[in-house]
Structure 1
Amino acid sequence: MRYMATYDLMETVRNTNQWLGASAKALAAYPMFSMAPNPALHWMGAWGEVTERTFARMVVKPDWGIHSFTCEDGKDHVVQIETVVERDFGDLIHFSVQGRKRRRKQVLLVAPMSGHYATLLRSTVISLLPDCEVFITDWHNARDIPVSAGKFDVEDYTLYLADFMRELGPDTHVIAICQPAPLTLAATAYLAEQDPDAQPRTLTLIGGPIDPDATPTDVTDFGHRVSMGQLQETMIQRVGFKYKGVGRMVYPGLLQLSSFMSMNADRHSEAFLNQINRVMKGDASDHDAHNRFYDEYLAVMDMPAEFYLSTVERIFKNGEIAKNTFTVDGHKVDIGAITTVAVKTVEGAKDDISAPGQCVAALDLLTGLPDSKKASHLEPDAGHYGIFAGRSWRNNIRPLVLDFIETNSPKPAKKAANKNAAA
């Protein structure tokens, strides 16, 4: 599998399906067919429209789509996305609300590098903007990173996070969502030993595999069933000539997407069939619920091969975070060195990817942290996606996280009374 031909074959299949959809849509739109309306042609046109959109979205990075924000003054303020730190494999960006007084709560969202872009957290960002200055890690698609940029594995990822935390300073509240939770915990511990003054004030870990073996799922079982040699032969491919990262070894986003889709194949098939029927009846729109969800879900990015393989080997197979044996740049990181950063874990009772028990395991590793700075929350009826987006996040989890941040933030200094004021 580790050849350009296999990577280009997947792209060829995607491109062909996009072309077939566009052709069917165009053919069904011929004016001559309107002389004798045929339901089969209407269905073919609807199929073509849905198919073209589906396969076209797979290679396009979605836009953040956060252009303005209504503040407490009732006015819409422009939101500018500013790059704070620019790196080869990912940037630190800031959602700056123009004309608004800077918020006291400064939040760093650590987005997953697990096949989707950071825009997957768009609704999470929007929900935090009223109360916080929001920063996020914006990881790059490995297919667009030249080979000359070098490797990027779990240690490099951890060092990136440490540098981002240093850049933002100690009054930062870090929220790590899903896959990066164990590495964010390691980055915080690394700073606790190497640069204590750069540690964040709080750390919230949401649905991450701190100890994957605490409550096994299909994801963790897969990590144990296959050998590293099998993964390298079946999952890793070399980027083709079409992209800037030509020659780079990656875990292709299209391959990851096929795995995602196969986990709930019946549900996805029904969703697309229903959408075709809606398009045929004229009930669909460009931004309906189906398109809003799948435009984001289908947009996938390639991961550096060394990052994917080291994640499976060191986080899932060897459990280095769970066993507190993780090393970064030759230095053994001791999670027990965290003594001042308040830590909260959040899990979903119906999470079938990072099941309850995997994330809360972080609290047992924090042997140097007093219990008063530890907290956990299990959200009933919430699945993996629901714990950082949707109703469960908005109504239940978000308020708890903001309360946790507020509780562990320094109180603003009171203004001194004016002694010359009239009695």
Structure 2
Amino acid sequence: MPTTAPDVLTNIMCCLQLYNEEVLDLFDTTRDLETRKQKSNIKIHEDASGGIYTVGLTTRSVTSAAEMIQCLKLGALSRTTASTQMNVQSSRSHAIFTIHLCQVRVCSPENNNDNETDNRLANDSDINEFETLTAKFHFVDLAGSERLKRTGATGDRAKEGISINCGLLALGNVISALGDRSKRSSHVPYRDSKLTRLLQDSLGGNSQTVMIACISPSDRDFMETLNTLKYANRARNIKNKVVVNQDRASQQISALRTEIARLQMELMEYKTGKRMVGQDGLEGMNDLVHENSMLQTENSNLRLRVKAMQETIDHQRARLTQLLSDQANTALARAGEGSEEIGNMIQNYIKEIEELRDKLLESESMNENLRKNLSRASTRSSLYGTGSFSCALLAPEKEANDVIEMAKRDLEKLKKMEKKKKKRYV
């Protein structure tokens, strides 16, 4: 038997910041702090499937969560920050931390393909089928929107604030266009900013978007808090249909498996006679199969009705037994011979009599059906059958009479015992 290969998971990440509409690499340690703020050669491209990727960024491969956190800390330390009147250490850029996941795993057989042919092919082949799954996570730290009057920014700080607000405005327009169904079919302004361009496939593509808003509890920041909540609330209206990212080979294998399962189902229907080809060459469903399905449905409905009727009969039988027992106890109480023990015994005997009466009715019905069937046979066979039926018919009646006689004897014994007890007390 071939051994199953373990799943292979590859993690590649990159970290960048958008400073004054320039994409800068935060993992690039060859450039100093001043040159990092200058123009870079990083380009943004779009592939044939609509995915966004960058050229010129430094990528790192990690194998554990600890290494991933270490890379995140390194990127955060390289980020551009400065002091304003509202924040001592204010972020002067939008940062994006991207993780690319690639998993190669063995294809698991589906339930609908579990047949003898697939098992034979799996045993005869030493080659496992693999599928490749990919995913991309964008962790975006947006710089807060700033009003120059409150921050008191001038010079480079004012220029950075204007660039930050432009990026947030472009992102808000994209979120509004994606959240409004009437506008989504029209133009979505992804190219108005490099921030929205980088997040194009994460906002309106095959992805899910989550926005976390950081607000201030201070009263003087009420307007900023309100605007931030309104901004984040618009992101809730984005509804994307997410599917698994598979490579073309895996998608083709999955499609072929589905097609094989469908053809096998059709072949089984032809073998069982469910499908048939008419004289005109057209396919159609067999009338017998259709009639059989209708009869099965009717049979199931009748079973439910019989079950409900049986519950009603049991309830009525219990009620009738209780009424007869109460009548017998009332009659004995008037005669001065009633007791709890006698009442329980009478109730048990009445219950047993009712059960025997039901069996008698059932046997009479069965005997009647058998008589009708045997009436079509020869005279000799019907005579033997009648004799046997008469014996079967008399057996339940005899059993019921024996139970009644036994009940009378037990009742007489109890009456004698009650009389003896009364004499002792006297």
The TM-score, its normalising length taken from structure 2, stands at: 0.21
Which is higher, the Rg of structure 1 or of structure 2?
Answer: 2
- The answer to which structure, 1 or 2, has the higher relative contact order (CA under 8 A, 6+ apart) is 1
Higher helix share: 2
The TM-score, its normalising length taken from structure 1, stands at: 0.21
